[in-house]
Amino acid sequence: MLRGQSFAPFAAGDVADARDRALANRLVTAALRYHGPINQLIGQLLERGLPKKSGRFEAVLRLSLAQLLFLPDLGDHSALFLAGEAMRADPKSQHLIKLINGVLREAQRRRDTVAVNAGTLFPSQLLDTWRDAYGADAVEAFGRALLEGAPLDLTVKSPVAALDAAPVLADTVPGYEASALFGMGAPKKTPPEIIEKLNKEINAVLAEPAIKAKLIDLGGEPLIGTPEAFGKMIVAETEKWEKVVKAAGLKVE
């Protein structure tokens, strides 16, 4: 994720223990939600920037700051202890244990000065566009929804079993959904009876317990339905994202 990859919440296949999985998801989600404020604080605490060739230093620092500043129920001592243990386990960052300990303790002292608002939560490139499109009050509401609602990337309509039925963003922003959709298609002039047979066989495969369990483990859920229903979903998704593209002023490069 530090290199720009997206975050998919840990499922049972990634972290077997339910309590460890829930903690890992909370830490990563908090670090992503508060990415802006954490960036700002790191810039203040490390005036010379992040050390080079530092192994997992940055990842541990961000997760520890997220816990210290924004997850008080987990405890400060736990954040400091786990940070030290994580650094000791990585030969490339062991020499930075004193540095991370000092940075985290200074962060404790500054926690009340960390600014958390739309200006620090969202990228500056988006703020003006969003404010013009939705208004300043709405953008501040987006920020509150981000902090009070579901984990990042849980933008589906209903809870997902593989993610321990974690709340979704639609609980906070009614109607919100931004999920991926996969399906199978056929050439335009394919006979209806062939489409019907394909649909029947594909639905049967998706309903098999092993297939369904695997899809859920990967963070998805099978959509069993008719070709007509799938066609309507494609039309609805196209219309929805057309509005988003136009409102954001996006252009093909």
Sequential DSSP letters for 163-188: GTT---GGGTSTT------------T
**59, 82, 116 — which closes off a domain?**
116
Q: Which residue has the tokens 């929805």?
A: 240
Within a domain: 8: no
Residue 25: name the closest of 222, 220, 157, 219 by CA: 219
Within a domain: 221: yes
Q: List, for residues 195-240, the tens digit of each pLDDT value.
A: 999 999 999 999 999 998 888 777 677 889 999 999 999 999 899 8
Least trusted range by pLDDT, from 13-22, 128-137, 157-166 = 157-166
pLDDT at 153 over 50: no
Within a domain: 57: yes
pLDDT for the residue numbered 154: 47
How many separate domains does the chain show?
2
Within a domain: 38: yes
Within a domain: 190: yes
Within a domain: 137: no
- Range(s) of the domain holding residue 228: 181-253
